[in-house]
Structure 1
């Protein structure tokens, strides 16, 4: 498969690139900073410089044309304000969906956020509330489209080694998950057409990823 990952220099994206490349997939990682190109190549991905905040859907469509799937794993990142949560976490996701539609790419996997379905309701921290609102809007935009989409909402992210065991459900309750296991879940849903139309939270648990996904989609 040819997979285009938005947010290619993020930790999850680099781990995902390594997993996909190791199994023989052709991986393209979108980066804003050309200085990050070497990191992507080391992970097995082809770096392409594209700014989700400044580029157009037509420009991005030319990059994703011919791909089997796109993955949105971008984010404004820590230290960014509420405005960039909207322009990256919402606007970037919408731009990727526009480009996918224009290029005829049907499969779209969204890396969202636990609790995104509720948006910023009840969250006192202004920036985190804006982040959750951006994720909610991005998810809802994607779910309104005639694409083969899956929305993954991971719990608190850690850099611990992955275990390959998770809990997946529309609502799992609070919990954490290694970034490596999030990447493995993305790999699994890319391979599973039954995950089309699925929205799931995911945290560390006791089921192997393949089993947890099968239980979710049966």
Structure 2
């Protein structure tokens, strides 16, 4: 059985636990380790768990909102005061999300561009957390990691939605070296698809205020409130899904994260793993 994206990235944490903590530098902090000399860190972004200000966006489109990080993002947006339009495929997801005040459910498939554009119309921001992991690709040989995310990006461009947050993974693009080679080999197709979506957003949507968030190994446990976003592309570690969602909502509403690629990790989890080793 092929390992899941979560499991493989947790392997990465175990492989480098002894050195991971020194690689973390939260947004707004001073660090001498692996800093981007030409891109000073943004300031004013809190750690996960801190009280977030009211949302700057009245209606936010969410792709991937039926489970995992995306489901927690929906809750975070509602708490911040945004209305949510959630693109869903299944009856179960539609029933669950329709029961939430402030959520409009749009039934459709992210592989269908017209469905994405129709659902997003009228929104003033978009978040996509979609990912297929190491699950087999469909009959068309396509991955939602690229095609679905690309449809969200393209629809935002057509509709004039200028604020987009794309959630991918550590191991994409400039963070490739953060993942051990054995892990990268397992996930190379997944990461390549996510990286293609990143590149579309960065290279072709120059008028868009985008943010890319790359989480480390995902864990389905309660939020710790100690996770951070960092511009250090060599950062690696674990993070709880609820903390990723908290950081994504904060990033959406922070001008300090615009046009930045940020890794999302939890130094406290890595420090604990290091102490137990």
Smaller-chain TM-score bracket:
0.7 to 0.9
Aligned counterpart, 1:212: none
Name whichever structure is richer in strand by fraction: 1
**Which stretch of structure 1 is more off in the superposition, 194-203 or 34-43?**
34-43
Task: Quote the residue 2:147 is aligned against.
Answer: 91
Structure 1 pair 14–175 and aligned structure 2 pair: CA distance change class (3 A): same
Pairing 1:197–2:256 present: no
Higher alpha-carbon deviation: 79-88 or 68-77: 79-88
Residue matched to 1:50: 108
Distance 2:240 2:141 in 1: 23
- Report the equivalent of 2:78: 21
Of stretches 137-146 and 148-157 in structure 1, the one that deviates more from structure 2 is: 137-146
Query: Following TM superposition, by how much is the alpha carbon of 1:84 offset from its aligned partner in structure 2, in angstroms?
Result: 7.7
- What is the distance in 1 between the residues matched to 2:180 and 2:194? 13
Aligned length: 202
The reply to whether residue 159 of structure 1 matches residue 216 of structure 2 is: no
d(CA) in 1 for partners of 2:131 and 2:154?
Answer: 18
| Cα contact 1:86–1:130 (8 A) shared by 2 | no
Summarize the Cα distance change of 1:198–1:105 in structure 2 as closer, same or farther, 3 Å threshold: same
Q: What aligned pairs does 1:101-180 form with structure 2 within 5 A after superposition?
A: 101-117=157-173, 118=176, 122=181, 123-125=184-186, 128-144=187-203, 145-146=205-206, 147-170=208-231, 171-180=233-242
Supply the distance in 1 between the matched residues of 2:149 and 2:168 (Cα, whole angstroms). 10
Cα RMSD, aligned residues only: 2.4
Any gaps of 5 or more consecutive residues in structure 1? Answer: 207-218
Separation in 2, partners of 1:115, 1:86: 20
CA distance in 1, matches of 2:237, 2:100: 28
Q: Note if 1:2 corresponds to 2:64.
A: no
Superposed CA deviations along residues 25-45 of structure 1, whole A, max 9, x for unmatched, are 101111122332122234553
Check if 1:80 corresponds to 2:136: yes
Distance (Å, rounded) in 1 between the aligned partners of 2:166 and 2:225: 20
Larger RCO of the pair (alpha carbons < 8 Å, separation 6+): 2
Identify the residue that residue 90 of structure 2 maps to in structure 1.
Answer: 33
Kindly name which structure, 1 or 2, has the bigger radius of gyration based on alpha carbons.
2
Contact 1:10–1:74 (8 Å) recurs in 2: no
- Alpha-carbon distance in structure 1 between the residues aligned to 2:234 and 2:140: 28
Are 2:133 and 2:190, in contact at CA under 8 Å, matched by a contact in 1?
no
Q: How many angstroms apart in 2 are the aligned matches of 1:202 and 1:121?
A: 17
- Supply the distance in 2 between the matched residues of 1:83 and 1:143 (Cα, whole angstroms): 29
Determine the C-alpha separation between the residues in 1 that align with 2:115 and 2:95: 23
Aligned counterpart in structure 2 of residue 184 of structure 1, from 246, 249, 269:
246
